[in-house]
Amino acid sequence: MRLKNVNGSIETVVKVVASVEFRHSFNGVKRRLFEKCRDNSIQPNALVFLFEDKAQPIGICQPFGGGNEDKLILGNLTAEQAEEISNALLTEGYFDLSRLKLQKNEMILEKYKVDDGKSGAYAVATSSCFNIFTNGNGFGDGIFAQCEVPADDEEDLADEESGEDC
């Protein structure tokens, strides 16, 4: 399967993981949960693309954008968009991400809006070196991240404009 990435590169996709992201406020803290879908009864709102292994020296991790990114997290999708992308990869073997409306690039993960696709999708490329989504657990457990950021109030949670890096 091939994916035309948001930066124009063509990547070989070895696995697509249907995932679900959820944000809520509890006890004054915004929490972000991100897991792979456990079964077909869960409607995904994110996809994680695992790319062909990119050889790099053992113990050497380049910074983001260094060319060793082996995952792309595509979040804030509607269930229909997630299904359309998955089906295109299965039937046509290819999908072009430039077809999607994307949110502005952000340095802080929590600034991306998660609102059932209304604000557009977001795309974050990452390397296994950094594990910003896997929390060291890998894809086997299905738990990618549980981030906590202070929430001033419920309105702040709704517009997702403030937050700290997890």
Provide the pLDDT for residue 141. Answer: 37
CA 28/CA 111 separation, integer angstroms: 17
Mean pLDDT by 10-residue block, N- to C-terminus, for the chain (166 residues)? Answer: 87 92 86 87 92 58 55 92 94 93 84 90 76 43 40 42 38
Provide the pLDDT for residue 93. Answer: 95
For the range 41-44, what are the long-range contacts, defined as Cβ-Cβ under 8 Å and sequence gap of 24 or more? 42/18, 43/79, 43/82, 44/18, 44/19, 44/20, 44/77, 44/79, 44/82
Whether 65 is in a domain gets the answer yes
Provide the pLDDT for residue 160. Answer: 40
Provide the pLDDT for residue 68. Answer: 59
Whether 141 is in a domain gets the answer no
Provide the pLDDT for residue 54. Answer: 60
Whether 13 is in a domain gets the answer yes
Number of domains in the chain: 1
CA 87/CA 81 separation, integer angstroms: 10
CA 157/CA 112 separation, integer angstroms: 12
Provide the pLDDT for residue 128. Answer: 60
Whether 120 is in a domain gets the answer yes
Provide the pLDDT for residue 106. Answer: 82
Whether 53 is in a domain gets the answer yes
Reported pTM: 0.71
Q: Residue 79: which domain range?
A: 2-21+36-130
Whether 70 is in a domain gets the answer yes
